[in-house]
Amino acid sequence: MKKIDLNCDLGESFGAWKMGCDEDVIPLITSANIACGFHAGDPVVMAKTVKLAADARIGLGAHPGFPDLQGFGRRDMKVTPAEAKAYVQYQTGALAAFASEYGLKLQHVKAHGNLYNMAGRDHDLAVAICRAIKAVSPDLIILALAGSEMISAAEEVGIRAASEVFADRAYEENGALVARSKPGSMITDEDEAAARVLRMVQEGKVTAITGKDIPIRADSVCVHGDNPKAVAFVQKLRTMLTEGGCELAPLSAFIV
Amino acid sequence: MKKIDLNCDLGESFGAWKMGCDEDVIPLITSANIACGFHAGDPVVMAKTVKLAADARIGLGAHPGFPDLQGFGRRDMKVTPAEAKAYVQYQTGALAAFASEYGLKLQHVKAHGNLYNMAGRDHDLAVAICRAIKAVSPDLIILALAGSEMISAAEEVGIRAASEVFADRAYEENGALVARSKPGSMITDEDEAAARVLRMVQEGKVTAITGKDIPIRADSVCVHGDNPKAVAFVQKLRTMLTEGGCELAPLSAFIV
Amino acid sequence: MKKIDLNCDLGESFGAWKMGCDEDVIPLITSANIACGFHAGDPVVMAKTVKLAADARIGLGAHPGFPDLQGFGRRDMKVTPAEAKAYVQYQTGALAAFASEYGLKLQHVKAHGNLYNMAGRDHDLAVAICRAIKAVSPDLIILALAGSEMISAAEEVGIRAASEVFADRAYEENGALVARSKPGSMITDEDEAAARVLRMVQEGKVTAITGKDIPIRADSVCVHGDNPKAVAFVQKLRTMLTEGGCELAPLSAFIV
Amino acid sequence: MKKIDLNCDLGESFGAWKMGCDEDVIPLITSANIACGFHAGDPVVMAKTVKLAADARIGLGAHPGFPDLQGFGRRDMKVTPAEAKAYVQYQTGALAAFASEYGLKLQHVKAHGNLYNMAGRDHDLAVAICRAIKAVSPDLIILALAGSEMISAAEEVGIRAASEVFADRAYEENGALVARSKPGSMITDEDEAAARVLRMVQEGKVTAITGKDIPIRADSVCVHGDNPKAVAFVQKLRTMLTEGGCELAPLSAFIV
C-alpha cells in the first residue's frame, strides 16, 4: 500500500496573537511543521504546540523561517548561505529542546515561506540549509518541494529528503509551482484538488497547467489548518486518500 | 588537588556590533557561557563562538537571558515561571544545535544578567529554569550563585549544580552579593581579589563585608573578557590559583 | 451638559496577526489609543488605523508601551525614567507621522499596559513620561488613571491631563483599581457597570469595594473593542450616558 | 561661492553596543543622518545623538532602514512600496520627536543601506519613500544618490532633493556606483578621493571607471565616522574643499 504523509504548519500564534486551528487539524495530519520564533511562534507557543503534537503522536518538524516577524517570513531576504545555515540550525535546535522534554526527537525540517521558495531555486542556499539540518542531526529528514534544488542538495549533503506536493496549486511543465499571480495557479475545486493528489500518490503523475502530464514524486501533501473550511478539506482529502488505497503515515515510517 | 573552573561570558556581539575579547580570553578559561540571541548574540555569532570554544576544548555552556536586546537582559522583567522555562529551553536548545555540529554536547547552563539575579532569589523562577535545563538534557549542569535559590532548586529538580563565586564582589554575611549601589561592594584591588578567590577555593571561606568569615562553596569563578585589563586579571588569577595548588578544570571534570 | 470621552485601544494587530474589531468600535468612540509598534501594532497597521480613525474624526492618541512584543507590554519591566522617556517620545513621534499625512495632530497620549500601571504608582516614571509628551508637543493631553501619579506629574511638568475611569473595574477606597487577582475586582453586570460610569460622570462619585462612596474625576471611560460582546457594551454605555444627560466628546473638546 | 554639505551616518550604537566616533566627527560635518531603530539606533541612543547634533547646530536628518537589526539593513528585503512608505514615515516621525524637544525640525531624510540602494533603482519604491517623507512634512529634503530614481521621484512627488556623491567610490559611465565586487570600485588614495570630490563640486564632473568624464551633481558628500582614520580623512576633505573655494553648509542653507 502506498504511504503518504499529510503535513501542516502549526504553532503560528505569537504572544497575545492567535493564529490557526491547531487543535482541530492535529487529529487529521501525520506530520507537523512547527514555527520556531523567527517568522512566527514564540517559546511559550512552541512549548504548547510540541505538547499537542507529541500527545497526538504525529511527526514533529521544525519550520524555520527568515528573521522577519512583521513580514511573517514571506518576503525575499537576500541572506548569505552562512546566515541561512545559522538561522536553520538555531531554530531547529530550539524546537528540538521542547521535543526532548517528552523523550522525542524531531522527525523533519521544512523551511518556511520565502526561505522555502528561495532555497528551492538556489543551490547554495539549499546546500546551506541541508548542512544546517545535518549539523543538528544526520537522522533528520528535509521536507521540500518535489523536484526542487532542496531535494538534490539533500542528496549532495547526505540527508534524507521527502518530496512535498500541493493539492491547491497548479504545476508548470518543469514541475515548478505556477506563480500565484498567474491565472489558473490555484486549484479551487476541492474534488479536483483531492483527485489530483490521489493521482500524484498512486501514479506519480500530475497534469501541468499546459495540459501535459508530468512525473512528480509525492511523499507528503501540504495541508492547511488556518480556518474551519481548510480543516474540512483535510478531512475530505484523508477520506479520498484512504478510500483510494493509500496509507497515511508520518515521514519517519517510510522515508529511507 | 582542589579543582576549580574559570567561566566567562562569550559571544556577546550582535549583528554588526562587536563586544568582548573572546579570542584573547578563551585560552585562559575552562568554561564558556555563550549568549543565545535573546539579550546578545545571534545565530551567526553563536556559530562562530561555538567553533572557537570547541577548538579550545573548553566546556560549552548556554547563557540564556531575558528577551530584551535593548536592555542587554539587565533589567528586571516579571515573567512567569512558565515563560522563564520556555525561554531557557529555547535558548539552550538553539545553542546545543551548534555544539552538535562538532559532535559535542553542552556542559552547562548559566542564566544571564537579571534572570540570574531574579532566579537566585525566587524559588519558583529557579525551579522553572532547572526544569527547562533538565528537559533539554538531564546531564546538563546549572552554574549559579553559591548559596542561591538556584542551587537548592537544582537539587529539588534533580540536576547537578555548580556554585559560582565572584572575585571582584563583596559578600553579605548571608552569602548574597553586596548590591553594587552600596559602598565597598566592589573588590578593586586585584591582588586582594585573587587572594580571596584562592581562599574560597582552598578553605571554602570568604570574609563578608561585615568582617566576619562565612562559608562559601566555590566550583567556578566568574571572570570577564570585556577588555585587555580584564583579560590580564584572568591571567593573574590563573597563576595565583595554580601556584596556590589548585587545578583548573571545566565543570564536567569534577561536578557530580 | 457634562462632557465625557469614550476611549478605546486600537491598532493592536501585528504583521499577519489580527486583533480587535476596530471597524466596529470606531463609530462608537470619541478617542483612539493607537498602538505604536513596541507592544503591538507595526507601521503598516498604524498607517491603516490612523486612516480609519481620521476618517471617523475621532481624537487620535498614541498608546506607547514597553518594548515587549512577546508579552504585549503586560509585564513589569524595570526601565529607568530616561529609558521610559525615550520610549514614549519615540513611539508618539512615530504615530504623529501618520496623522500629519491627513493634516492632523495627535490629541493625546495614553501609556499602555504595565507602563500605565507602573507609572501610575511611580512618580519619577510618571514625570519622565509627561516630559516625553511635552517634548513632542506641549499641546498633547495625557490620558491616565484618575487620581494616579500620572495626573499629578502632568501638573508638575505643565501639560494637560485627562482622568480615565473604568466601567468594569472595582475601586479601592484610595481610588486605586482593585487588583484583578482579588475577589470582586471586576464589575461583571453590564447594567451596574454602565450605571456606575454615569454616576462617576454626573456626580463625581463611585462606590468603593468597601461600600464607601469616594470622589472620582471622570473625563474619559476606557472601553474595549476586542470582541462583539465588548462592542455591544459600548453601544449600551453610549445610550445610557446620552440618555443620562451627558454629551460624548473627544478630550480636545473640553480638557483645559 | 559653491556650497557643499558633508553628511555622515550617526547614532548607530544599539543598547549596550557602541559603534562610531560620533563626538569626533560631528564638529567636522554639516548634516547628520541619524539611525532610527530599525537597522541601528534605539530610542535612548537617538535621544543622545539628537542632543549632540543639535548642540553642534548641524542639519538633523532621519536615516530610516529596513527592519533588520541582525543584518544592519544591509540585505535586500523585498518589501512592498506600501511597507516601505510606512517604515520611512514611522522612523522619520520617531526621530522628529527628539528634535522637537529642542524646538528643532528635521532637515532631511536619507534612506539607509540596501533601502537606499534598492530605491535608487526602483521607481515605485522611490516614489513610496518620497511620499512618506512628504507625509511627515513637505519641507523635508530627501538626500539620495545623484542621478538615481530617488532624485526623479522627489520631483514627481513634489519635495526637494539633494544629490549625494561619494569620495571613495568609482562611478560607471551612467552615473551609477561601481559595484564593490568589481576591481577598481574603491578610490583608496585619499588625495585622489578628495580631488575628485572637489572637481565634482566645482565643475560638476567626475571621471568614470572607463576613463570618460561624466556630468554629476554634488550637493552633499557622504563621509564616515567609523574610526579615527575615517575621521582624519573628513578633516583633510574639509581643508581641500575650503581651500578650493567651496563653502561648507548644511542642505537647508542652499537646497531649493
* Tens place of pLDDT per residue across chain D (256 aa): 899 999 999 999 999 999 999 999 999 999 999 999 999 999 999 999 999 999 999 999 999 999 999 999 999 999 999 999 999 999 999 999 999 999 999 999 999 999 999 999 999 999 999 999 999 999 999 999 999 999 999 999 999 999 999 999 999 999 999 998 999 999 999 999 999 999 999 999 999 999 999 999 999 999 999 999 999 999 999 999 999 999 999 999 999 9
Who among D71, D78, D83 is closest to A76 (CB)? D78
- Chain A contact set for D79 (CB, 8 A): 71, 75
Question: Quick one: which H or E segment has residue D161?
Answer: strand D160-166
Tell me the nearest-neighbour CA distance from C76 into chain B, angstroms. Answer: 5
**Which residue numbers in chain B have pLDDT < 50?**
none
Interchain proximity D86–C37, CB inside 8 Å = no
Interchain proximity D16–B16, CB inside 8 Å = no
What is the residue type of A88? V
What is the residue type of A182? K
> CB of D247 within 8 Å of any CB in chain C?
no
CB contact at 8 A, D200 and D218? yes
**Cα B39 to the chain's mean position, in Å?**
15
Who among C13, C18, C72 is closest to A15 (CB)? C72
What is the C-alpha to C-alpha distance for residues A5 and A218, in angstroms, rounded to an integer? Answer: 9
Is it the case that residue C7 has pLDDT exceeding 90?
yes
Return the C-alpha cell found at B19. Answer: 563586544
Tally B–C CB contacts below 8 A: 27
Interchain proximity D15–B70, CB inside 8 Å = yes
Interchain proximity A90–B94, CB inside 8 Å = yes
Res D119: pLDDT: 98
Return the C-alpha cell found at D77. Answer: 528585503
Tell me the nearest-neighbour CA distance from D236 into chain B, angstroms. Answer: 27
> CB of C226 within 8 Å of any CB in chain A?
no
Close Cβ partners of D2 (under 8 Å, ≥ 6 residues apart): D201, D202, D245, D246, D247
What is the C-alpha to C-alpha distance for residues A223 and A29, in angstroms, rounded to an integer? Answer: 8
Half-sphere exposure of B100 toward its Cβ, with a 13 Å CA cutoff?
Answer: 23
Tell me the nearest-neighbour CA distance from C252 into chain B, angstroms. Answer: 35
Who among B67, B70, B75 is closest to C70 (CB)? B67
- Chain C contact set for A17 (CB, 8 A): 13-14, 17-19
- Chain A contact set for C40 (CB, 8 A): 16
Interchain proximity B94–A93, CB inside 8 Å = yes
CB contact at 8 A, D152 and D121? no
D98-D102-D103-D105 Cα dihedral, nearest 10 degrees: -40
What is the C-alpha to C-alpha distance for residues C115 and C119, in angstroms, rounded to an integer? Answer: 6
What is the C-alpha to C-alpha distance for residues A133 and A88, in angstroms, rounded to an integer? Answer: 7
What is the C-alpha to C-alpha distance for residues D232 and D237, in angstroms, rounded to an integer? Answer: 9
> CB of B42 within 8 Å of any CB in chain D?
yes
pLDDT in tens, A104-114: 999 999 999 99
Residue carrying C-alpha cell 529634503: D141
Single pTM value for the model: 0.97
Who among D76, D79, D83 is closest to A78 (CB)? D76
- Chain A contact set for B90 (CB, 8 A): 37, 43, 46, 94, 97-98
Phi/psi for D8 (5° steps) reads -145, 145
Who among D83, D96, D137 is closest to C93 (CB)? D96
Candidates C89, C133, C140: best to mutate against D (most CBs of D within 10 A) is C89
D205-207 and D31-35 strand pairing = unpaired
Tell me the nearest-neighbour CA distance from C138 into chain A, angstroms. Answer: 33
What is the C-alpha to C-alpha distance for residues B138 and B53, in angstroms, rounded to an integer? Answer: 22
What is the C-alpha to C-alpha distance for residues C40 and C18, in angstroms, rounded to an integer? Answer: 10
> CB of B138 within 8 Å of any CB in chain A?
no
- Assembly ipTM: 0.96
What is the C-alpha to C-alpha distance for residues B129 and B157, in angstroms, rounded to an integer? Answer: 10
Nearest by Cα to B60 from B85, B21, B95: B95
> CB of B14 within 8 Å of any CB in chain D?
yes
Residue of D nearest to A80 (CA): D75
Question: Quick one: which H or E segment has residue A48?
Answer: helix A43-55
Close Cβ partners of A63 (under 8 Å, ≥ 6 residues apart): A9, A11, A33, A34, A35, A36, A41, A109, A110, A111, A112
Interchain proximity A77–D77, CB inside 8 Å = yes
- Chain C contact set for D46 (CB, 8 A): 86, 90
Residue carrying C-alpha cell 587572594: B195
What is the C-alpha to C-alpha distance for residues D163 and D255, in angstroms, rounded to an integer? Answer: 10
CB contact at 8 A, D143 and D108? yes
Assign B84 to helix, strand or coil.
Answer: helix
Res D237: pLDDT: 96
The partner residues of A7 in beta bridges, in order of sequence, read A31, A222
The partner residues of B165 in beta bridges, in order of sequence, read B221
Candidates C70, C72, C114, C227: best to mutate against A (most CBs of A within 10 A) is C70
Residue of A nearest to B137 (CA): A100
- Chain D contact set for C85 (CB, 8 A): 47
* Sign (positive or negative) of CA dihedral B26, B31, B33, B36: positive
Residue of D nearest to C103 (CA): D135
Share of chain A above pLDDT 90, in %: 98
Residue carrying C-alpha cell 561536578: B255
Chains touching B (at least 3 CB pairs under 8 A) are A, C, D
Candidates A14, A17, A19, A69: best to mutate against C (most CBs of C within 10 A) is A17
> CB of D14 within 8 Å of any CB in chain B?
yes
Who among B70, B71, B78 is closest to C75 (CB)? B78
Query: Span C25-37, mean pLDDT?
Result: 98
Distance set, CA D229 to CA C151, D190, D232, D234, D235 (Å)? 51, 11, 5, 9, 10
> CB of A14 within 8 Å of any CB in chain C?
yes
What residues of chain C, 144 to 203, have a C-beta less than 8 Å from chain D?
Answer: none
Q: Which 8-state DSSP code applies to residue B2?
A: -
What sections of B72-181 are H helices per DSSP? 81-99, 113-121, 123-136, 149-157
SS3 sequence of chain A: CEEEEEEEEECCCECCECCCCHHHHHHHCCEEEEECCCCCCCHHHHHHHHHHHHHCCCEEEEECCCCCCCCCCCCCECCCHHHHHHHHHHHHHHHHHHHHHHCCCCCEECCCHHHHHHHHHCHHHHHHHHHHHHHHCCCCEEEEECCCHHHHHHHHHCCEEEEEEECCECECCCCCECCCCCCCCECCCHHHHHHHHHHHHHHCEEECCCCCEEECCCCEEEECCCCHHHHHHHHHHHHHHHHCCEEECCHHHCCC
Return the C-alpha cell found at C152. Answer: 499629578
A220-223 and A213-215 strand pairing = unpaired
Interchain proximity B77–C68, CB inside 8 Å = yes
Tally B–D CB contacts below 8 A: 35
What sections of C34-145 are H helices per DSSP? 43-55, 81-99, 113-121, 123-136
Mean pLDDT by 10 residues, chain A (256 residues): 96 97 97 98 98 98 98 98 98 98 98 97 98 98 97 98 96 93 94 95 96 97 94 95 96 96
Close Cβ partners of B228 (under 8 Å, ≥ 6 residues apart): B21, B24
User: For chain A, how big is the Rg over CA atoms in Å?
Assistant: 17
What residues of chain D, 54 to 73, have a C-beta less than 8 Å from chain A?
Answer: 67-68, 70-71
CB contact at 8 A, A88 and A110? no
Interchain proximity B86–A136, CB inside 8 Å = no
pLDDT in tens, B197-253: 999 999 999 999 999 999 999 999 999 999 999 999 999 999 999 999 999 999 999
